[in-house]
Amino acid sequence: MNVGSSHSSSYVLSGSWGANLNTPFVYINFRSAGPIPIFTFCSDSNTYLQCRVYTGVVNLLVAQLKSTSVSSYSINNLGSTLSYPPSQYSVSSNYDAQIYIGNTQWSYSSSIGRNINSLTPISSNTFKVYTNRYGSEKATY
Protein backbone atom coordinates (compact mmCIF):
# COMPACT_ATOMS: atom_id res chain seq x y z
CA MET A 1 0.00 0.00 0.00
CA ASN A 2 1.07 3.55 -0.65
CA VAL A 3 0.86 6.31 1.92
CA GLY A 4 -2.27 8.41 1.63
CA SER A 5 -4.04 5.80 -0.49
CA SER A 6 -7.45 4.33 0.24
CA HIS A 7 -8.66 0.76 0.58
CA SER A 8 -12.25 0.01 -0.41
CA SER A 9 -12.13 -3.79 -0.29
CA SER A 10 -12.94 -5.83 2.79
CA TYR A 11 -10.57 -5.55 5.74
CA VAL A 12 -10.89 -8.08 8.57
CA LEU A 13 -8.72 -8.36 11.64
CA SER A 14 -9.53 -11.20 14.00
CA GLY A 15 -7.93 -13.02 16.88
CA SER A 16 -8.58 -15.54 19.59
CA TRP A 17 -7.17 -16.41 23.00
CA GLY A 18 -7.10 -19.45 25.26
CA ALA A 19 -9.97 -19.00 27.71
CA ASN A 20 -13.39 -17.37 27.78
CA LEU A 21 -13.54 -13.90 29.27
CA ASN A 22 -16.51 -11.93 30.59
CA THR A 23 -17.12 -8.79 28.45
CA PRO A 24 -13.43 -8.19 27.75
CA PHE A 25 -11.88 -5.05 26.33
CA VAL A 26 -10.00 -5.15 23.04
CA TYR A 27 -7.24 -2.56 22.71
CA ILE A 28 -5.55 -2.21 19.31
CA ASN A 29 -2.87 0.40 18.73
CA PHE A 30 -2.40 0.50 14.95
CA ARG A 31 0.59 2.84 15.38
CA SER A 32 1.90 3.62 11.88
CA ALA A 33 0.88 0.27 10.44
CA GLY A 34 -2.35 1.44 8.86
CA PRO A 35 -5.08 1.45 7.96
CA ILE A 36 -6.41 4.29 10.06
CA PRO A 37 -9.15 2.76 12.27
CA ILE A 38 -12.78 3.80 11.82
CA PHE A 39 -15.87 3.50 14.02
CA THR A 40 -17.44 0.75 11.89
CA PHE A 41 -14.68 -1.57 13.11
CA CYS A 42 -16.63 -1.95 16.36
CA SER A 43 -20.00 -0.24 15.80
CA ASP A 44 -22.12 -3.43 15.84
CA SER A 45 -24.20 -3.09 19.03
CA ASN A 46 -24.92 -6.83 18.99
CA THR A 47 -21.21 -7.55 19.44
CA TYR A 48 -19.83 -4.54 21.34
CA LEU A 49 -21.02 -2.80 24.51
CA GLN A 50 -18.93 0.26 23.79
CA CYS A 51 -16.39 1.44 21.27
CA ARG A 52 -13.91 4.30 20.96
CA VAL A 53 -11.69 5.06 17.98
CA TYR A 54 -8.95 7.68 18.15
CA THR A 55 -7.11 9.02 15.12
CA GLY A 56 -5.86 12.44 16.24
CA VAL A 57 -2.43 11.70 17.69
CA VAL A 58 -2.47 7.89 17.63
CA ASN A 59 -4.44 5.33 15.61
CA LEU A 60 -6.16 3.48 18.41
CA LEU A 61 -9.28 1.35 18.91
CA VAL A 62 -10.67 0.42 22.34
CA ALA A 63 -13.85 -1.65 22.46
CA GLN A 64 -15.67 -3.80 24.98
CA LEU A 65 -17.21 -7.03 23.75
CA LYS A 66 -20.80 -7.70 24.79
CA SER A 67 -20.57 -11.46 25.33
CA THR A 68 -20.22 -12.79 28.87
CA SER A 69 -18.23 -15.75 27.57
CA VAL A 70 -16.01 -15.00 24.61
CA SER A 71 -12.57 -16.08 23.42
CA SER A 72 -12.25 -14.26 20.08
CA TYR A 73 -12.89 -10.97 18.32
CA SER A 74 -13.28 -9.79 14.74
CA ILE A 75 -13.27 -6.27 13.34
CA ASN A 76 -14.03 -5.20 9.78
CA ASN A 77 -14.76 -2.08 7.79
CA LEU A 78 -18.33 -3.09 6.78
CA GLY A 79 -17.86 -1.68 3.28
CA SER A 80 -16.49 1.69 4.40
CA THR A 81 -13.41 2.98 2.59
CA LEU A 82 -10.28 3.01 4.74
CA SER A 83 -7.39 5.45 4.56
CA TYR A 84 -3.73 4.75 5.07
CA PRO A 85 -1.44 7.16 6.93
CA PRO A 86 -0.57 10.33 4.96
CA SER A 87 3.17 9.84 5.26
CA GLN A 88 5.76 7.14 5.83
CA TYR A 89 6.95 7.32 9.42
CA SER A 90 10.72 7.15 9.75
CA VAL A 91 10.92 4.74 12.71
CA SER A 92 10.65 1.27 11.17
CA SER A 93 9.73 -0.39 14.49
CA ASN A 94 6.42 1.53 14.52
CA TYR A 95 4.95 -0.50 11.66
CA ASP A 96 3.57 -3.26 13.81
CA ALA A 97 0.26 -3.07 15.68
CA GLN A 98 -0.06 -3.84 19.39
CA ILE A 99 -3.11 -5.75 20.65
CA TYR A 100 -4.20 -6.30 24.28
CA ILE A 101 -7.21 -8.26 25.59
CA GLY A 102 -8.62 -8.34 29.11
CA ASN A 103 -11.29 -7.14 31.50
CA THR A 104 -9.88 -6.05 34.87
CA GLN A 105 -6.32 -6.32 33.56
CA TRP A 106 -4.65 -7.13 30.26
CA SER A 107 -4.69 -10.94 30.16
CA TYR A 108 -3.45 -11.49 26.61
CA SER A 109 -1.31 -9.56 24.18
CA SER A 110 -0.21 -9.94 20.60
CA SER A 111 1.10 -7.92 17.70
CA ILE A 112 0.81 -7.73 13.94
CA GLY A 113 4.26 -7.94 12.45
CA ARG A 114 4.91 -5.43 9.68
CA ASN A 115 7.84 -3.34 8.60
CA ILE A 116 8.43 -0.03 6.90
CA ASN A 117 8.09 -1.67 3.47
CA SER A 118 4.43 -2.48 4.22
CA LEU A 119 3.60 1.15 3.59
CA THR A 120 5.59 2.67 0.76
CA PRO A 121 5.74 6.30 -0.33
CA ILE A 122 3.72 7.41 -3.34
CA SER A 123 6.21 7.30 -6.22
CA SER A 124 5.01 10.56 -7.77
CA ASN A 125 5.46 12.38 -4.49
CA THR A 126 9.23 12.84 -4.75
CA PHE A 127 11.31 15.98 -4.86
CA LYS A 128 14.96 16.93 -4.56
CA VAL A 129 16.50 19.50 -2.29
CA TYR A 130 19.86 20.97 -3.25
CA THR A 131 21.76 22.55 -0.44
CA ASN A 132 24.07 25.50 -0.82
CA ARG A 133 26.67 26.33 1.75
CA TYR A 134 26.16 30.07 1.36
CA GLY A 135 22.37 30.14 1.02
CA SER A 136 19.63 28.64 -1.09
CA GLU A 137 19.71 30.61 -4.32
CA LYS A 138 19.69 27.67 -6.71
CA ALA A 139 16.71 27.64 -9.05
CA THR A 140 15.96 23.99 -8.33
CA TYR A 141 15.83 24.37 -4.54
The domains of the chain are located at 6-118
At CA 89, angle to CA 83 and CA 91, rounded to 5? 140
Residue 40: pLDDT above 80?
Answer: yes
Q: Does position 91 have pLDDT exceeding 60, yes or no?
A: yes
Q: Please check the confidence at residue 141 and state whether its pLDDT lies above 50.
A: no
Q: How many helices (H) and strands (E) does the chain have?
A: 0, 9
User: In angstroms, how far is the first alpha carbon of the chain from the final one?
Assistant: 29
The second-level CATH assignment, the architecture, of 6-118 is: Sandwich (2.60)
DSSP-derived 3-state class of residue 39: helix
Q: Please, are residues 78 and 97 in contact by the beta-carbon 8 Å criterion?
A: no
Residue type, 22: N
pTM to 2 decimal places: 0.76
